[in-house]
Structure 1
Amino acid sequence: MAAQTQGRSKAVLWSGVGVGVVGIGALIAVAVTDLGKADQLASVIGAVLAAVGLGLTLWGQFGGAAPPAPAPAPAAPVVTASGTGSVAAGGTIGSVATGSGTSPAPAPAPTAPTAPATPAPGSVTASGDRSVAAGGDIGSVSTGDA
């Protein structure tokens, strides 16, 4: 992409140099024959070149480059749970019970609104019987028959 932009810039530069050389040569040729005509021609050529320069400046500033590619989305964490009654979550866990027949008390309500926890970019793994793992906050957990 940079090589393409650099090549385009060089082409515009050399075309501008070429137009300038031809314009100067034409003005010198006309000035030798008729100075009044050269003055009028120089005014018209100057106005045209100023308009072209303004157009090239605006094109180079706003229209010459393609917009940047969007950043790739972050990879989702790998979440695995192995073992009897194990629990793994890529985000926040409110309440978990891994025992049989009982449930934990519900998680207390937050006192102030908080931003949701973002999962860690790594993996979340719960291995072993009644294990619990989370990529965010854990409100309440019961891992036994209490």
Structure 2
Amino acid sequence: MGLVVGGVLDVGAADPWASVAGGAAGLIGLAVTLYAFLGPAPTAAAVTASGTRAVAAGGSIGAVSTGDGTSTTPPPPTTPGSPTRPASGPVTASGERSVAAGGDIGSVSAGDG
């Protein structure tokens, strides 16, 4: 807006308009920041496991074994400080021996050994 006024009128008249536009942009930025900090809290993702031996986790799963007489090899250790990804939506494992995670899955064995 300040540039338009400066282009149409003159640079001296654009200065107050640019000040007003900058102040308005600052107030809008402050309002958006306050909303981000004080706005509604994110809701937890729904985690559901339905089915024989089904496994569901809202975060990461290291090792899972759903079969008879099976074992899983544990995944390699994570680097300290490496972030785990939380679920961003619903996590559902529905079906026999199904496995679902909102984050990473290291190792899964769903068969019988």
SS at match of 1:107: coil
Higher helix share: 1
TM-score of the pair, normalised by structure 1: 0.49
Q: 2:82: which partner in 1?
A: 114
Mapped partners of 1:132, 1:92: distance in 2: 11
Partner of 1:141: 108
Considering Cα pairs closer than 8 Å and 6+ residues apart, tell me whether 1 or 2 has the greater RCO.
Answer: 2
Q: Deviations over 1:6-58 (max 9, x none)?
A: xxxxxxxxxxxxxxxxxxxxxxxxxxxxxxxxxxxxxxxxxxxxxxxxxxxxx
Cα distance in structure 2, aligned partners of 1:111 and 1:84: 34
* Equivalences for residues 56-95 of structure 1 within 5 A: 68=34, 70-95=38-63
Distance in 2 (alpha carbons) for counterparts of 1:76 and 1:111: 26
Q: How far apart are 1:145 and its partner, in Å?
A: 1.3
**When you count strand as a share of all residues, which structure comes out higher?**
2
Identify unmatched segments of 5+ residues in structure 1.
1-67
Which residue is 1:129 aligned to?
A: 96
CA RMSD of aligned residues (A): 1.7
* Identity of matched residues, %: 60
Over 4 Å off, 4+ runs: none
Within 5 Å, which residues of 2 pair with 1:10-89? Answer: 68=34, 70-89=38-57
Per-residue deviation, 1:111:
5.0
Query: 1:77-105 CA distances to partner (integer Å, 9 max, x unpaired)?
Result: 11111111100011111110011122111
